[in-house]
Structure 1
């Protein structure tokens, strides 16, 4: 069993859906024991380690919180972790303690040059002079840890966020995502005047007004954008409706929920539904991500290509990640990690052992300028 697999197994066994403290303790202890890095732990539990200084900084970024496990994924005080069919099974293996473990080992084992360099030249080959590791809390509840870190000065030049990018261009190939969608969740609330249903003309039907707003939304096109020639297609859809108080009462209010998958630089024009009787409230806005430096994307792609037999590509990803918060703050990001589509948050979540080791090599290669 490789060092990355063994570290993944240890980290996955630690429950971190209600409280990330123990998992953060484990990561902090390991970094202090295994590296010469400066390691810090902030007041909400983010773990950050730094090696080197000056010039270009590259961060390996992950999170150690997970969604609640299914009953069969937990046994007493530990999560169940099993090795079967060259995969590691258990809550958090794919999302995303496997990537965290690969990043921890790569952070420890990468050489960090002492010479100062500027940001990557067009060939993307400059070596990193400050290497950063960060594992955040609260990613699964809207990026709480990433936002806290950014508000308190976390600002590397570049970041590789270890969320899943394997199996997008072809099965088992670990690609490099240079963009991903965000998610904006909204509530549209229409107001009317209650009346007895036997005299509908005496009231104003809020459901009808909400229906008009729904028709407007149905006529909207989903946002779209292109990043380095790769298309990112968003969407907008009404997902819930709630209104009325009784079968014989004209409803005075009606609310609909809107799920919008956003793309870099674009949003659907939802303000069009607003008037004196209809209000629009944004409940959550997870930002999309677009890499703003193609040379960096190519640098990580070169490292990915050198770490596997397949032919990785620059791709886009449908899910929001902490890369969105980092990109919004001015950090040049890509997403590259072992998880495959459909693995995260499932009762049979698992990750390929070979791909865990591959991601370790990709991260090391990216730190050295794109070569393994």
Structure 2
């Protein structure tokens, strides 16, 4: 456990909100020093590693299981750096069994657990074990998308994002599905006129209002994964239109936050078709994830339950995560994914971000156990 805590502190101390290079350097150097794996660093800074023992006589691995994380973080708060604003070194503290610092929970602690599990696990015959720490997760999964485009395609992956405290406090659950996020804008266009003669123009705000009425009536995305209902959501979050009080507005923008689910999305295209002068634009589309490999999901939960039982903890469950992760990009590319990690709800991105050392150890045991288990 000391090695895991020390490695977590080392990674957390390295600033990586603007440039992930130094953090990637540390991960790469550790993997080269501590393992005999094939270690790669791609053009955008992702760190990838693979190990496979061909002693079974096969020409190549029958399947690949990846342990996946990311080493970029969101900008730190003032209290999380030694300098002014976000320009200083990161502050890392260990107290009361927890490690405090930007990225401790999201997700350098889990990356450290993956690194140790990757080193220590002895995969079954025919299994290639992979490790990946991506850049750019916090800005839309740019690193994961690049790796996928360059051929990163494991059969299965455990993505080490937070899953602790979902079914009950103090338990690290196994996420079988998570929501995605589609950010859209409805742009309503009209014709300007003086407000004293509104009939001479076309009010873009009125057109936007008609569009909003349709959005409110659309069915929300919904799916079922492992018998659990995954419900999405749809909400207008920003309306911007008009320039001054006495001019009929010629443009109005409506921002929509949609949480998507595996296999279903709201029919927003219908809005633009129904209202004259309204166009629909997609700004961001982070895909959802839903695992369809029952054997993988059940085996991982069995490992997680065995670890919890050994530690005298309540049993984890299969759960649904509300937040998008890099698992969505991997799932779209054909990888069967699960999410399991140390971060608790409400820890990530806060100015008091921290992670429990005992939970990191628990995750290490789960990752190692899954790496060694046949499916």
Say yes or no: TM over 0.5.
Answer: yes
SS at match of 1:306: helix
For the 8 Å contact 1:302–1:370, the answer to whether it is kept is no
For the 8 Å contact 1:187–1:283, the answer to whether it is kept is yes
Partner of 1:67: 74
Partner of 2:100: 89
Q: Distance in 1 between matches of 2:82 and 2:297?
A: 41
For the 8 Å contact 1:301–1:370, the answer to whether it is kept is no
SS at match of 1:61: strand
Partner of 1:12: 12
For the 8 Å contact 2:109–2:360, the answer to whether it is kept is yes
Q: Distance in 2 between matches of 1:363 and 1:136?
A: 18
Partner of 2:344: 340
Q: Distance in 2 between matches of 1:359 and 1:255?
A: 44
CA shift digits 1:296-340 (9 cap, x unpaired): 011111111111122100000000000000000000000000001
Partner of 2:91: 80
1:104 to 107, 111, 115: 115
For the 8 Å contact 2:262–2:289, the answer to whether it is kept is yes
Query: 1:281-300, aligned counterparts within 5 Å?
Result: 281-300=281-300
For the 8 Å contact 2:187–2:252, the answer to whether it is kept is yes
2:195 to 178, 194, 197: 197
Q: Distance in 2 between matches of 1:49 and 1:310?
A: 33
Partner of 1:161: 159
Partner of 2:57: none
- Count of residue pairs brought into register by the alignment: 358
Partner of 1:225: 223
Q: Distance in 2 between matches of 1:245 and 1:343?
A: 40
Shifted more, 76-85 versus 305-314: the winner is 76-85
SS at match of 1:79: coil
2:242 to 229, 241, 244: 244
User: Which blocks of at least 5 consecutive residues in structure 1 are unaligned?
Assistant: 117-128
Partner of 2:214: 216
SS at match of 1:279: strand
Q: Distance in 2 between matches of 1:163 and 1:35?
A: 24
Q: Distance in 2 between matches of 1:264 and 1:242?
A: 31
Mapped pair 1:328 → 2:332: yes
Q: Distance in 2 between matches of 1:165 and 1:294?
A: 19
SS at match of 1:354: helix
Mapped pair 1:315 → 2:310: no
CA apart distance, 1:369 = 1.0
Shifted more, 141-150 versus 85-94: the winner is 85-94
For the 8 Å contact 1:51–1:112, the answer to whether it is kept is no
Shifted more, 50-59 versus 179-188: the winner is 50-59
Q: Distance in 2 between matches of 1:179 and 1:145?
A: 21
Query: CA RMSD, aligned part only?
Result: 1.1
Runs of 4+ in 1 over 4 A off after TM superposition: none
Shifted more, 26-35 versus 82-91: the winner is 82-91
Q: Distance in 2 between matches of 1:370 and 1:161?
A: 18
For the 8 Å contact 1:182–1:287, the answer to whether it is kept is yes
For the 8 Å contact 1:300–1:370, the answer to whether it is kept is no
For the 8 Å contact 2:123–2:373, the answer to whether it is kept is no
CA apart distance, 1:166 = 0.5
SS at match of 1:78: coil
TM-score, normalisation: structure 1: 0.95
Q: Distance in 2 between matches of 1:271 and 1:164?
A: 33
CA apart distance, 1:370 = 7.0
